[in-house]
A and B are shown apart, each in its own frame.
Chain A
Amino acid sequence: GDSVTQMEGPVTLSEEAFLTINCTYTATGYPSLFWYVQYPGEGLQLLLKATKADDKGSNKGFEATYRKETTSFHLEKGSVQVSDSAVYFCALRHTNTGNQFYFGTGTSLTVIP
């Protein structure tokens, strides 16, 4: 069945470092792909999304490109800030599974000054 695999955390980076959080998926056809962010004590909120192959989603300096050939949707940011400390979830949504959402297990990021 459909699934999402994220890199294990936690990840600790210094401020201004480059961030990559890997996400790969298993699904037939063309699901939509999402990155959500959860700040401490809050619910999840959409960070960015891509709905077809080769689309690039971007928001707040974060980017992710929908790579059909590698079934990946890696999250990147060129220069992280302390305020980016949060848990990041990769997710997919697919018609083949009744428009259901599938989430990865989340990757915790801590950025230190």
Chain B
Amino acid sequence: EAQVTQNPRYLITVTGKKLTVTCSQNMNHEYMSWYRQDPGLGLRQIYYSMNVEVTDKGDVPEGYKVSRKEKRNFPLILESPSPNQTSLYFCASSSSGITYEQYFGPGTRLTVT
């Protein structure tokens, strides 16, 4: 089954404790992206990647890191989480070319206390 998986689905952590949210897709997509969703703010893009070893900042990259060492994986790293990073996070992937849609993961709900 074609899918985007994220882990963990739920995470509660404390300020300053490094964490990684994994994202993996099995569709051989070149394009991958991370978003955060907050009430009243819609989806905001954090980082995206057009292919292996190619990443770029989205609209809200501060406090986040990513890497793309393999085509299927695109982990999101919070090196020193803060309470304002409490949010719902989505990973997505897509083929290149503007006619292709994104496929979204199920989301990771992160709470930073």
Q: Give A contacts to B, CB under 8 Å.
A: 31-32, 34, 36, 42-46, 49, 51, 89, 93-95, 98-101, 103-106
Contacts and interface: CB of A to CB of B under 8 A. Distances in A.
Given A99-B50, A104-B42, A93 B107 contact: no
Nearest to A96: B98
Contacts of A89: 42-43
Contact of A34 (B90, B97, B101, B107): B101
Nearest to A105: B42
A100 B102 CA distance: 10
Contacts of A95: 98
A34 B92 CA distance: 15
Interface in B68-110: 90, 92, 94, 96-107
B97 A43 contact: no
Given A43-B105, A44-B104, A101 B33 contact: yes
B43 A49 contact: no
A31 B98 contact: yes
Interface size on B, as a range, is 20 to 34
Nearest to B35: A103
Interface of B: 4, 31, 33, 40-43, 45, 48, 50, 90, 92, 94, 96-107
A104 B42 CA distance: 7
Contacts of B33: 101
Contacts of B43: 44, 89, 103, 106
Given A32-B98, A99-B98, 16 more contacts: A31-B98, A34-B101, A36-B104, A42-B106, A43-B104, A43-B107, A46-B103, A93-B98, A93-B100, A99-B31, A99-B96, A99-B97, A100-B45, A100-B48, A103-B43, A105-B42
A51 B98 contact: yes
Nearest to A29: B98
A45 B98 contact: no
Nearest to A106: B42
A8 B107 CA distance: 24
Nearest to A41: B107
A32 B98 CA distance: 6
